[in-house]
Amino acid sequence: MSDPSPRNDRAIALDLNSLALPLDGSFQRASAHAVSLSRFFPSPLPPWSDAMVMRTRRQVGGCVAAVDAALRQDMSRRLPQIEPALETLASGHVWSVISQHPELISPALFAQFRLRAAMGLLSGSEDGEAARLLHGLAQDDPTIAGQLATLVTTQARWNDRGVEDAPIVTDLPAVAMEELVSLCCAVLVQALMSSDIAPVDRLLDCANHSCDAILARHDEEAGALGAAAWLARAMDGRMLDDALLCALAQEGQLLLCAILAQRCAAPLDQVGLALVDGRDDVMLALCKVADLPDEAAILLQMYVDPVRPTPRDAALAAMIDRYEAMTVEEARALVAPLALPANLTDKMVLIGMKASG
């Protein structure tokens, strides 16, 4: 069989307009994602804080640029004949396409970038009370000291103020990293296919192997989420007193989220997103189930306002009343869905909407 013609090659290139459609069938998730994206990209809707928008776009652009560079390097090594086309293609091409079509970023992936930006902005002072107390705990345990150093360094890196599309460390969870690599590769391959630089089958095989190689080198435990989760497991039950928990509520929110996740058997990223997205009842329930001191629970709500879409100061009194009235059984019912796969909760919500309609 003869090689496919250039016209047929181009015919199977990706169609960005079709990719923009929601694929999981969840109207609620797609709608919420559209609203969330509109706050970070040009839109007439009221945006989040300027700092939150800038840090989130920095995280998206920086991670895209890093994956783009890694793909170019690996693909040109595997298939040298595409190197001239890669050199001709602008270095920011992938980010340019994604920033013009932000709907290509799934809700789950975009949530990871939003979480990184928020926790970067919330990274505490190295001279604060939480840092002082943690330093005291780490003096007698070099392993804890090492993980604390990783947490501080990585979280500070999430507060990077560099050029939007300058490469940064892609310390994402494995599932999010896989999606990001696939997205960047799809955009890159589409551009290469239009240049007729190599047979489609060889180009796609090269791209697939390059994606696999990048993902094989990725270590999700090396980032801030991994360090925070490790510390929560190591410290819980023997090192956490009320003073430290209250200090973490003010300037160590990521580690406190990891402690909540550990005690409630919930994914750390879901706990962090509940906090950042202003899901007050869920966060209050997490604090209740985790048996957090009342003072720490309220302080946590107060000190994350700068990274939330709407301030909570005016509702603080009502929030305290709700927390005091909430029973542990009610709290567990609110926390339970966090441990379920997102696809399952989406379908349950969708079925519930249809049943109530």
Give me the pLDDT at residue 338, please: 84
Lowest model confidence (mean pLDDT) among 86-95, 118-127, 268-277: 118-127
Q: What is the mean pLDDT of residues 327-350?
A: 80
Give me the pLDDT at residue 320, please: 79
Alpha-carbon span 287 to 289, nearest angstrom: 6
Q: Which residues contact 42 (CB under 8 A, 6 or more apart)?
A: none
Among residues 191, 26, 6, which one has the least CA distance to residue 98?
191
- Dump pLDDT digits (tens) for 31-85: 566 666 666 766 555 457 888 989 999 999 999 999 999 999 999 999 999 999 9
- Dump pLDDT digits (tens) for 146-192: 999 999 888 888 988 889 999 999 999 999 999 999 999 999 999 99
Alpha-carbon span 175 to 118, nearest angstrom: 20
Give me the pLDDT at residue 1, please: 39
pLDDT at 205 over 70: yes
Among residues 241, 243, 224, 284, which one has the least CA distance to residue 260?
284
- Dump pLDDT digits (tens) for 245-283: 999 999 999 999 999 999 999 999 999 999 888 788 898
Amino acid at 311: P
- Dump pLDDT digits (tens) for 288-334: 999 999 999 989 988 888 888 765 655 677 777 888 889 999 999 98
Q: What is the mean pLDDT of residues 332-349?
A: 78
